[in-house]
């Protein structure tokens, strides 16, 4: 008996070490979170696991991932006051609940988030540098009840996980800030030149007006950059919440079209909207989907050619809807297709067509994937581009 226990302990210990090494080997937050919940399930013999991250500044708990997770729920806020996770954050202690239905602490359940009904829970705080950064929960022990050993293993995994999450966040922030500062240099340099020219005693009124316009343009560009930057930073940290709801896709497409049609007209482009009947209703954040479509359509306008056209189409497909944005513009060489959705990426030479930061498509991708959808590009130089979105119904 004793011998059996020891070999169990050893197996657990070995597993823990290998999981911890695994966690230390990635800085990608999404991959990391997936690995953590998988390790939690394996270590504790649970049916599922989930992670919530805690934002100390906002005193807010946000759901991040779970086994069989509906990605739409990412970022959804969980009440600190009345949830199990909130209790763990406040008390900085693990908890085992054998029967959540009959627990008299009256926690609000987020069991719909995992697609499994929650019977039992083992939850531990994720603590790094004395700060609670989140909660790791193992859900539904498969045989019997969660034990003290399970709790100890999950605490240890949690400690490693918290450090790895913290590192990944810091790295992400640093990476993004470094790129942003790099991008700031161009508009700042031109502002500097412009303001310097303005102080020149011999500058004519005409020249002065021209310089003022230039300054205004650069300031607009800087503030757009700042807005995009904040957008992507929020989306990437997983702290941006999608406001969940069911929206009318047809109305949304029409609103977006009205906006783009006038932009297209100003540039002498044709705009066409083509919505098939029987579009399914889509659930998610209508404002975010709107933002994604505006980004795609404004690219289709920006990188177009005189006399060209922009087409927005939507049609039902099995289990969802397809939205297609196509244009007859300058197109994108194949070798850049897999970099397009990266942050700050612009196809070389794009400056001559239009100003931009290279953040638009990375925001689009985050939003669409955050809704459980996909986005693909087909494009050839001098022929045009087609971006195809799939959203689940």
Out of 23, 84, 293, 330, the residue judged to bind ligand ATP by CB under 6 A: 330
Q: Which residue has the tokens 């919940």?
A: 37
Contact 291, 240 (CB under 8 A): no
Residues 263-322 that bind ligand ATP (CB under 6 A): 295, 299-300, 303
Which one of 5-13, 135-143, 152-160, 323-331 is the stretch in contact with ligand ATP (CB under 6 A)? Answer: 323-331
Query: In terms of CB distance, is 39 or 340 closer to ligand ATP?
Result: 340
| Residue of 75, 68, 66 whose CA lies nearest to 36 | 66
Residue 361 interacts with ligand ATP (CB under 6 A): yes or no:
yes
In whole angstroms, what is the distance from residue 312 CA to residue 273 CA? 5
Residue pair 74/370 in contact by the 8 Å Cβ criterion: yes
Candidates 308, 329, 370, 373; binder of ligand ATP (CB under 6 A) is 329
Q: In the block, which residue shows the tokens 């989140």?
A: 134
Q: Does 360 sit near Mg ion (CB under 5 A)?
A: yes
Q: How many residues bind Mg ion (CB under 5 A)?
A: 2
Each residue 213-232 as x (binds ligand ATP by CB under 6 A) or -, in order, gives: ---------------x----
Nearest to 127 by CA among 89, 95, 99, 154: 89
* CB 153, CB 9: distance < 8 Å: no
Phi, psi of 190 (to 5 degrees): -75, -30
DSSP 197-214: HHT-TT--HHHHHHHHHH
* Number of C-beta neighbours around residue 148 at 10 A: 9
Q: At what angle do helices 148-198 and 205-237 cross, to 10 degrees?
A: 180
Residue 54 · residue 134 · CB < 8 Å: yes
Binding mask 272-291 for Mg ion (x = CB under 5 A): --------------------
Binder of Mg ion out of 299, 326, 379, 385 (CB under 5 A) = 299
H-helix segments, the chain:
2-24, 29-44, 84-91, 148-198, 205-237, 249-266, 286-302, 360-370
Q: Does 340 bind ligand ATP (CB under 6 A)?
A: yes
187 binds ligand ATP (CB under 6 A): no
Q: How far is the CB of 302 from ligand ATP (least distance, A)?
A: 6
332 binds, among Mg ion, ligand ATP, none (CB under 5 to 8 A by kind): ligand ATP
CB nearer to Mg ion: pick between 299 and 304: 299
Q: Is 156 in the site for Mg ion (CB under 5 A)?
A: no
370 binds, among Mg ion, ligand ATP, none (CB under 5 to 8 A by kind): none
Residue 148 and residue 154: Cα distance in Å, rounded?
Answer: 10
The one of Mg ion, ligand ATP, none whose footprint includes residue 308, by CB under 5 to 8 A per kind, is: none
CB of residue 331 to ligand ATP, shortest distance in Å: 6
**357, interface contact from ligand ATP, Mg ion, none, CB < 5-8 Å by kind:** ligand ATP
**What region does 278 belong to: left with phi over 0, alpha with psi -120 to 50, or beta?**
left
- Stretch of residues binding ligand ATP (CB under 6 A), selected from 82-90, 146-154, 185-193, 340-348: 340-348
Task: Pick the closer one to Mg ion by CB: 360 or 372.
Answer: 360
* CB of residue 350 to ligand ATP, shortest distance in Å: 4
Residues binding Mg ion (CB under 5 A)? 299, 360
Residues binding ligand ATP (CB under 6 A)? 228, 295, 299-300, 303, 327, 329-332, 340, 345-347, 350, 356-361, 385
């Amino acid at each position: 008996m004793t011998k059996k226990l020891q070999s169990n302990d050893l197996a657990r210990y070995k597993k823990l070490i290998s999981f911890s090494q695994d966690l230390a080997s990635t800085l990608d937050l999404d991959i990391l979170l997936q690995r953590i919940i998988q390790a939690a399930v394996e270590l504790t013999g649970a049916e599922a696991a989930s992670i919530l991250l805690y934002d100390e500044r906002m005193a807010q708990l946000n759901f991040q991932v779970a086994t069989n997770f509906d990605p739409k729920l990412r970022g959804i806020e969980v009440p600190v006051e009345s949830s199990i996770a909130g209790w763990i954050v406040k008390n900085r202690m693990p908890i085992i609940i054998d029967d959540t239905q009959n627990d008299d602490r009256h926690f609000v359940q987020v069991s719909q988030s995992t697609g499994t009904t929650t019977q039992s829970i083992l939850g531990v705080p994720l603590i790094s540098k004395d700060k609670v950064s989140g909660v790791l929960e193992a859900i539904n022990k498969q045989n019997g009840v969660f034990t003290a050993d399970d709790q100890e293993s999950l605490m240890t995994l949690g400690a490693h996980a918290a450090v790895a999450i913290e590192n990944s966040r810091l790295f992400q922030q640093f990476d993004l800030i470094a790129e942003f500062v790099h991008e700031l240099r161009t508009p700042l340099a031109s502002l500097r030149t412009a303001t310097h020219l303005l102080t020149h005693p011999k500058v004519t009124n005409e020249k002065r007006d021209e310089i003022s316009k230039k300054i205004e343009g650069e300031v607009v560009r800087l503030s757009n950059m700042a807005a995009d930057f904040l957008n992507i930073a929020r989306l990437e940290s997983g702290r941006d919440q999608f406001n969940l709801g069911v929206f009318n896709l047809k109305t949304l497409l029409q609103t977006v079209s009205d906006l783009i049609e006038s932009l297209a007209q100003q540039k002498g482009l044709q705009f066409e909207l083509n919505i098939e009947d029987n579009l399914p209703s889509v659930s998610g954040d209508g404002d975010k989907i709107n933002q994604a479509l505006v980004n795609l359509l404004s690219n289709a306008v920006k990188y177009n050619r005189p006399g060209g056209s922009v087409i927005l189409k939507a049609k039902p497909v099995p289990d969802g809807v397809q939205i297609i944005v196509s244009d007859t513009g300058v197109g994108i060489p194949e070798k850049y297709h897999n970099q397009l959705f990266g942050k700050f990426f612009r196809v070389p030479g794009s400056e001559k067509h239009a100003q931009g930061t290279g953040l638009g498509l990375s925001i689009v991708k985050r939003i669409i994937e955050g809704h459980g959808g996909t986005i693909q590009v087909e494009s050839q130089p001098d022929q045009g581009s087609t971006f195809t979105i799939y959203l689940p119904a």
